[in-house]
């Protein structure tokens, strides 16, 4: 397991001998650090050796396997695009997901400017020297630190010298090559470079991944100063075909609902960091950074607006239009769901005259493109000196971040094919259709954001055993949005100027009476500003259907999280450690997408409170060549405020079976996609100097589906299929490392050793297909002029058993 180091003796005497000493930085920037026992929070740490030993694909997979309180939702269906959840808060690459974790790379917050998303594929695993998961709403880590902050430090040539080449290959066409080189010289120069190329065909239908990353850090170091320039580049193409409907997942575990779902990420990252020691007690540090990220998506989706329409038999006028355009072979009568499983003639005919393609075309091609530029700087001063005769560490700093974003979105109508791909036609969702249900999914938005911040923290050793910390950060964010399609600030315009500011405090106390154990208690506050997606759909008088559209809106309030942490941690001898803690995080003015009277529409609003609370416990020991670890998290995540939300796929919705109604959330209802129980266990055995074997287990309990916010959905087998939940699961992974010689190492891994079929997330929604796989439109007679639909539970399947092996040659 990753290190949850505890129990180091809190004694500042030089003669004090401690079995384990771990120091942790207090801010994203490098500075003077504190021993863990002085920190009033259960920080989890890992090194590059931990990451290499467990052979995880990337940092998100490593955290899922090794960090307590972390689980992933594979909503996108691609191994590099998982939602990472910690204590019920999320860092996701999916635009529109409420983001509650901040992620830092060498002091730079890498949550992207548009939507605060985190693209895990842009973080090169081979460049990571260490990581710390900071729990709670630590204000020193700035915006989005609601449930925690992940701080990653990268390798340097002086600390990671040498050259290596690594080759891997395995299941589903996986193959990769990776290169590393680090070094330094007597003039103080140092360098570290790594590059990799990865390809995987994917285990699901048409789901390949191509990842290309390059990273370099070049620096100079003297006795008092350290200067480093980081250059990182990535060019990736990821296919993640998302959730699958429960019936088809049971028939074919590899199948997809629709295809393709392609994301292309291209990123350039520059970061200049510096440290200078004025003397033994004063350290100055800072950085200047620049990022450019270009992301495009191409998604083949179902057009749900066609499912309550007659989409099979072309009318006389449509047949005439088809004939005039040179088409032939279309049916003159009798086309229906039984004999036309994949209708397309009405779609083509309506596209010709731009009449009703929004109603007659069964598919959509959704495209987005975002171009983001992000730059800024930060600096801090650390002072370690006595205050009133007691040891004291004071850090103060400031930061500035600026971003410019261009976001484009559009949709093209098409029809669904037997292989679940979408064939586009010459008609677009731009609101020009001659149809009463015409909609416009276009977005063309330029956004400009500036954030200023001031922060400070002070840790005072009140006595040899008591240590108090007081921290705070002030953030001021100005958001300026300009709508290229509807400028001027009217009802439909995204134009807006928004300003958010807040001071977030934190206080902590730790107590270390002996070498064996210490206790801590802490309180912290953090905040996040509403994203452009939320600001673009917050007007109850002008609701929208997400993620297809945004509209002009009044401002939302910031989400503010207040967190308590209380716990104990200790060490038995030099080989065994333990920890137990309680936490509670309350979100105030949380943001939720709520229902409007218009079917399928809604808007974001500040609605009240949510809560995430629980227990974390863990332990590890080493018995000769055997290392064992066990971690457990109980997580109770609930709504604390009543609200009404849209629930078209929920059997208890207000409109009736198969229709688009609402459900009422009550205080105490569980938040979807957050499990109650998580268990992580591992065992590693060293067979002499050459061979080691490791076994790790992930156990996660079930969770409610998104759309089942009231926790009351029940399937009836007719209008509603599937349980409305994602079941619990356990997954076991086996890792082997063998040193063939001093220079050559062989390794291998079997993930999901027992080939369990499992799911990590669920969502309720209408299904487009019959039990035999054909398009199913108007499956039931009309009720009050509206046609009910079949609804189902859509599931995110977990990866089946995969095997891969590799060889590493080091100089």
What CA–CA distance (Å, rounded) separates 327 from 344?
12
Per DSSP bridges, beta strands 791-797 and 720-721 are parallel
426-444 in b/e burial notation, b at 16+ Cβ within 10 A? ebbbbeebebeebbbbbbb
Q: Is the pLDDT confidence value at 550 over 50?
A: no
Q: Cα Rg for the chain, rounded, in angstroms? A: 27
**What is the predicted pLDDT for the residue at 604?**
73
Least confident range from 132-141, 518-527, 548-557, 691-700: namely 548-557
Q: Is the pLDDT confidence value at 660 over 60?
A: yes
C-alpha of 470 from chain center = 30
pLDDT tens for each residue of 693-713: 999 999 999 999 999 999 999
DSSP state of 72: E
What CA–CA distance (Å, rounded) separates 698 from 62?
12
How far is residue 227 from each of residues 30, 160, 763, measured CA to CA in Å? 12, 16, 48
pLDDT tens for each residue of 407-429: 998 999 999 999 999 999 999 99
**What is the predicted pLDDT for the residue at 544?**
59
pLDDT tens for each residue of 232-250: 999 999 999 889 999 999 9
**Nearest CA-CA partner of 725 in 64, 71, 246:** 246
pLDDT tens for each residue of 708-748: 999 999 999 999 999 999 999 999 999 999 999 999 999 99
pLDDT tens for each residue of 662-685: 899 999 999 999 999 999 999 999
pLDDT tens for each residue of 600-659: 456 677 888 999 999 999 999 999 999 999 999 999 999 999 988 888 899 999 999 999
pLDDT tens for each residue of 216-234: 999 999 999 999 999 999 9
**What is the predicted pLDDT for the residue at 16?**
34
What CA–CA distance (Å, rounded) separates 738 from 128?
22
Q: Which residue has the higher pLDDT, 746 or 39?
A: 746
User: Can you tell me whether residue 49 is helix, strand or coil?
Assistant: helix
Which pLDDT band holds residue 332 (cuts at 50, 70, 90)?
A: very high
**What is the predicted pLDDT for the residue at 535?**
72
**What is the predicted pLDDT for the residue at 19?**
40
Mean pLDDT, range 182-199, rounded to an integer: 97
Q: Is the pLDDT confidence value at 551 over 80?
A: no
Name the E strands within 596-676.
Answer: 602-623, 626-639, 643-646, 662-665
**Nearest CA-CA partner of 701 in 758, 639, 765:** 758
pLDDT tens for each residue of 515-542: 899 999 999 999 988 876 677 666 666 6
What number of other Cβ atoms are within 10 A of residue 647's Cβ?
26
Q: Is the pLDDT confidence value at 154 over 80?
A: yes
Residues 728, 611: contact at Cβ < 8 Å? no
pLDDT tens for each residue of 344-354: 999 999 999 99
Per DSSP bridges, beta strands 101-105 and 148-154 are parallel
**What is the predicted pLDDT for the residue at 602?**
61
Task: Describe the chain by its helix, strand, coil percentages, rounded to 5.
Answer: 10, 55, 40
Q: Is the pLDDT confidence value at 785 over 70?
A: yes
What CA–CA distance (Å, rounded) separates 569 from 140?
23
**Nearest CA-CA partner of 481 in 494, 466, 465:** 494
Report the number of secondary-structure helices (H) and strands (E) in the chain: 7, 41
Mean pLDDT, range 45-58, rounded to an integer: 93
Mean pLDDT, range 251-275, rounded to an integer: 96
Q: Is the pLDDT confidence value at 322 over 70?
A: yes
**What is the predicted pLDDT for the residue at 1?**
47
Q: Is the pLDDT confidence value at 399 over 50?
A: yes
Mean pLDDT of the chain: 91
pLDDT tens for each residue of 431-462: 899 988 888 888 898 989 999 999 999 999 99
**What is the predicted pLDDT for the residue at 11?**
35
Compute φ and ψ for 121, nearest 5 degrees.
-70, -10
Whole-model pTM: value is 0.93
Cα-Cα-Cα-Cα dihedral sign, residues 622, 628, 634, 635: positive
């Amino acid at each position: 397991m990753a290190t949850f180091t505890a129990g180091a003796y809190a004694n500042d005497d030089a003669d004090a001998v401690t079995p384990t000493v771990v120091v942790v930085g207090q801010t994203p920037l490098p500075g003077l650090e504190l021993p863990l026992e002085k920190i009033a929070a259960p920080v989890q740490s890992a090194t590059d050796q931990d990451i290499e030993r467990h052979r995880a694909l990337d940092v998100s997979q490593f955290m899922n396997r090794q960090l307590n309180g972390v689980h992933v939702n594979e909503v996108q269906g691609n191994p590099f695009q998982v939602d990472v959840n910690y204590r019920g808060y999320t860092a996701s690459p999916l635009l529109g997901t409420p983001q509650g974790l901040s992620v830092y790379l060498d002091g730079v917050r890498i949550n992207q400017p548009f939507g605060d998303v985190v693209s895990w594929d842009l973080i090169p695993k081979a460049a990571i020297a260490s990581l710390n998961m900071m729990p709670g709403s630590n204000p020193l880590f700035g915006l989005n630190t609601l449930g925690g902050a992940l701080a990653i430090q990268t390798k340097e040539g002086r600390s990671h010298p040498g050259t290596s080449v690594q080759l891997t290959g395995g299941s589903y066409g996986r193959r990769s090559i990776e290169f590393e080189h680090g070094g330094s010289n007597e003039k103080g120069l140092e360098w570290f470079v790594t590059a990799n190329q990865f390809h995987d065909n994917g285990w699901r239908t048409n789901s390949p991944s191509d990842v290309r990353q390059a990273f370099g850090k070049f620096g100079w170091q003297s006795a008092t100063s350290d200067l480093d320039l980081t250059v990182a580049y990535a060019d990736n193409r990821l296919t993640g075909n998302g959730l699958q409907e429960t019936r088809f997942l049971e028939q074919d575990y590899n199948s997809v609902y629709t295809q393709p779902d392609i994301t292309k990420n291209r990123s350039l990252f520059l970061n200049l960091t510096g440290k200078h020691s004025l003397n033994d007690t004063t350290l100055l540090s800072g950085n200047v950074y620049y990022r450019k990220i270009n992301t495009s998506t191409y998604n083949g989706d179902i057009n749900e607006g066609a499912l309550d329409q007659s989409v099979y038999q072309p009318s006389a006028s449509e047949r005439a239009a088809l004939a005039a355009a040179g088409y032939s072979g279309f049916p003159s009568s009798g086309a229906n769901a039984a004999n036309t499983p994949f209708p397309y003639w009405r779609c083509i005919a309506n596209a010709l005259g731009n009449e009703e393609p929004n109603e007659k075309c069964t598919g959509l091609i959704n495209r987005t493109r975002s171009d983001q530029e992000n730059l800024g700087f930060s600096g801090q001063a650390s002072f370690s000196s006595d205050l009133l005769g007691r040891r004291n560490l004071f850090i103060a700093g400031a930061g500035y971040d600026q971003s410019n974003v261009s976001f484009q979105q559009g949709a093209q109508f098409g029809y669904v094919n037997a292989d679940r791909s979408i064939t586009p036609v010459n008609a677009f969702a731009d609101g020009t259709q001659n149809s009463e249900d015409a909609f416009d999914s276009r977005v063309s938005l330029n956004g400009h954001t500036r954030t200023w911040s001031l922060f400070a923290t002070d840790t005072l050793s009140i006595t040899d055993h008591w240590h108090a910390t007081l921290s705070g950060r002030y953030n001021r964010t100005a958001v300026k949005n300009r709508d290229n399609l509807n400028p001027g600030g009217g009802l439909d315009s995204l134009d807006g100027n928004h300003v958010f500011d807040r001071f977030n405090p934190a206080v902590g106390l730790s107590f270390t009476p002996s070498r064996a154990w210490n206790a801590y208690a802490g309180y912290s506050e953090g905040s996040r500003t509403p994203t452009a997606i939320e600001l673009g759909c917050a007007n109850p008088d002008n609701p929208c259907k997400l993620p297809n559209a945004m509209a002009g809106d009044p401002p939302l309030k910031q989400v503010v999280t207040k967190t308590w942490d209380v716990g104990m941690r200790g060490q038995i001898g030099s080989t065994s450690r333990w920890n137990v803690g309680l936490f509670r995080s309350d979100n105030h003015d949380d943001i939720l997408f709520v229902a409007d009277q218009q079917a399928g529409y809604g808007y974001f609003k500040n609605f009240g409170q949510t809560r995430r609370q629980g227990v974390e416990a863990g332990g590890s020991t080493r018995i000769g060549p055997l290392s064992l670890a066990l971690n457990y998290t109980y997580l109770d995540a609930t709504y604390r405020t009543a609200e009404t939300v849209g629930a078209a796929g929920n059997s208890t919705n207000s409109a009736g079976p198969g229709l688009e109604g609402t459900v009422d959330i009550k205080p105490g209802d569980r938040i979807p996609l957050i499990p109650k129980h998580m268990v992580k266990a591992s065992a590693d055995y060293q067979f002499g100097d050459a061979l080691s074997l490791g076994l790790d287990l992930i156990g996660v309990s079930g969770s409610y589906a998104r759309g089942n916010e009231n926790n009351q959905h029940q399937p009836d087998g007719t209008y509603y299929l599937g349980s409305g939940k994602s079941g619990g699961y356990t997954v076991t992974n086996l890792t082997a490392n063998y040193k063939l010689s001093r220079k050559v190492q062989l390794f291998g891994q079997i993930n999901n050793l027992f080939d369990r079929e499992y799911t990590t997330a669920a969502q309720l929604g209408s299904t487009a297909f019959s039990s035999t796989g054909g398009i199913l439109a108007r499956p039931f007679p009309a009720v009050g002029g509206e046609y009910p639909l079949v609804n189902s539970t859509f599931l995110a399947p977990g990866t089946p058993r995969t095997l891969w092996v590799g060889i590493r040659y080091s100089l």
